Structure 1
Amino acid sequence: MSGLVNTLLIVAVVVVVIARQFRARPVNTGRRWWLLPAVLAVVALREPGILDAHHRTEAALLLGTELLVGLGMGAAWAWTTRIWTASDGVVWTRSTRASAMVWLGGLLVRVGLFALGAALGVHQNGSALMLGLALLLLVRSGILVWRAQSLPSGPSMSSPTRAYGDDMARVARKEGV
């Protein structure tokens, strides 16, 4: 695939994933939650230029860092997601404001990695970013499925589980007079 197609695919996946995760959605633990990350990884690994032939060490270090960022972001996103069991026993999930901060932080780190690679003269394409996104989605989905399966089920268990940021004070808005 060309760089433009990879970029459009990455943007489309990110927009769909983020838009869906900030709405309350049921978690289906039996579904193939690993399928989208697997497809993204296969597409990313099919590209021949994932490592710059002239700067292999630097490109490998940048790729490794990208994967670590994806791993960390996936875990942080999963743990900042609120998850609860409804009165009918269905497990629901919704990302929080802290989840949005995780995305913003990850985006800034990725921009920094791209700038570092450009400063080192490393040729970069979207494959490394796509592979990092695949790892992010795989880790997040895996942790959410694990959290959903560990929730007590039944009609009496309807309170949400803790998510990072739940203890933060809510700022009351002042009404204008």
Structure 2
Amino acid sequence: MSGLVNALVIVAVVALVIVRQFRTSRLDSGRPWWLVPAILAVAALREPGLLDAHHRTGSALLLGAELLIGLATGVGWAWTTRIWVEADSGVWSRSTKTSVAVWVVGIGLRVGLFALGAMLGIRQDSSALLLALAGTLFVRSGIMVWRAQSLERPAVPGAAYRDGTARPAWKERV
């Protein structure tokens, strides 16, 4: 993919993530939590310009810092997201105002890294940002799944003998 296509993918994914994080969403929807981050990582790693050919060490250091910021953003975002269990045993989540602060700090640090790289004359490709975004989503999703599994689910209503099956309620016929 070209740099423009990568940039458009990044903007689209970030916009989708930001919009979705403030809506209440169900966590246990049955789809694999690692799929979107894996697709983004493969797209980023397929690009040949991940490291600058003329500044390999500096570009590798910037990439490492970008990945660390991405992972830290994912951890912060996951731990500032509110999760709860509804009566139907469904696990739900919604980001908080603190999650916005985590995103703002993460984006600010990434802009600072880009400025540092530009000041040092290191060419930075959008695939590094795409890879860090994949890391952010992977860590956040993994922690959210782990947190959701540790929540206590309510007992199934009507399971008098604790065998896990719900008994139908008696219906009167008139």
The bucket for the TM-score relative to the shorter chain is 0.7 to 0.9
Q: CA deviation at 1:45?
A: 0.3
Aligned residue number for residue 137 of structure 2: 137
1:127-146 CA distance string (max 9 Å, x none): 00000000000000000000
The 8 Å contact of residues 86 and 155 in structure 1, kept in 2 or not, is answered as: no
- Which stretches in structure 1 are left out of the alignment for 5+ residues? 157-177
Aligned residue number for residue 3 of structure 1: 3
**Which residues of 2 match residues 22-171 of structure 1 at below 5 A?**
22-28=22-28, 30-154=30-154
Q: CA deviation at 1:155?
A: 5.5
Q: Which amino acid aligns with 1:8?
A: L
1:65-110 CA distance string (max 9 Å, x none): 0000011000000000000001111110000000000000001000
> Secondary structure of the equivalent of 1:82?
strand
Q: CA deviation at 1:29?
A: 6.5
> Secondary structure of the equivalent of 1:15?
helix
> Secondary structure of the equivalent of 1:50?
coil
The 8 Å contact of residues 87 and 154 in structure 1, kept in 2 or not, is answered as: yes
> Secondary structure of the equivalent of 1:84?
strand
Q: Which amino acid aligns with 1:94?
A: R
Taking structure 1 as the reference length, the TM-score comes to: 0.86
Q: Which amino acid aligns with 1:113?
A: L
Runs of 4+ in 1 over 3 A off after TM superposition: none
Percent sequence identity is 65
Q: Which amino acid aligns with 1:106?
A: G
* Structure with the greater alpha carbon radius of gyration: 2
1:153 and 1:68 map into 2 onto residues whose CA distance is 34
Give the RMSD, CA atoms, in angstroms.
1.2
Q: Which amino acid aligns with 2:137?
A: L
- Which stretches in structure 2 are left out of the alignment for 5+ residues? 157-174
2:114 and 2:40 map into 1 onto residues whose CA distance is 20
> Size of the alignment, in residue pairs?
156
> Secondary structure of the equivalent of 1:94?
strand
The 8 Å contact of residues 67 and 132 in structure 1, kept in 2 or not, is answered as: yes
2:88 and 2:2 map into 1 onto residues whose CA distance is 47
Q: Which amino acid aligns with 2:141?
A: S
Q: Which amino acid aligns with 1:46?
A: R
Q: Which amino acid aligns with 2:7?
A: T
Q: CA deviation at 1:31?
A: 2.3
Q: Which amino acid aligns with 2:78?
A: A
Taking structure 2 as the reference length, the TM-score comes to: 0.87
Q: Does 1:18 align with 2:27?
A: no
> Secondary structure of the equivalent of 2:127?
helix
2:155 and 2:109 map into 1 onto residues whose CA distance is 42
